[in-house]
Amino acid sequence: MTKTELNKYRQVLETKLGELSHAVRDREGIVIEKSPDALDEVQHAAERELAIRNLDRESHLLRNVRAALRRMNEGAYGVCLHCEEDINPKRLNAVPWAPFCIDCQELADRNRDQDSEMFEELMVA
């Protein structure tokens, strides 16, 4: 990977890091609101659950972006954490924080469905 490509990915990752850091700090959506109306209570609970799921998804993505920047600083960016082959540039253009090549990502997705922690440990290492 050329230095120009690496700098392009670094800029994209740092921008995403800023966006996600701001989004994760905004916890207004998970405030518990009380209402005398039972239907309003149900609506508030549903909105809170959606906000919690979004916060969880954004927190997970934030960890992935930070890990990608760490790999970049260590000189391991763009290399699959599982098979250690180069990650296709098309994949990095679409998902710059990708820790795995497409084949290993598919394997990780199948294993996640089976509650395997092997790939999770690689991603946060």
* Regions in the chain scoring below 50 on pLDDT: none
Residue in 65, 101, 106 with CA at minimum distance from that of residue 84: 101
- Asked whether the whole model's pTM tops 0.85, one would answer no
pLDDT value, residue 80: 96
pLDDT value, residue 121: 58
Instruction: Give the 3-state secondary structure of residue 79.
Output: strand
Q: Which token pair is 4?
A: 């120009």
Segment 106-117, tens digit of pLDDT = 998 888 766 655
Name residue 58's amino acid: E
pLDDT value, residue 90: 96
* Residues 96/13, Cβ–Cβ less than 8 Å: yes
Topology (CATH) of 3-124: Four Helix Bundle (Hemerythrin (Met), subunit A) (1.20.120)
* Residues 71/77, Cβ–Cβ less than 8 Å: yes
Give CA separation, 45 vs 24, 54, 96, 101, 116, in Å: 20, 14, 34, 38, 31
pLDDT value, residue 120: 59
pLDDT value, residue 119: 56
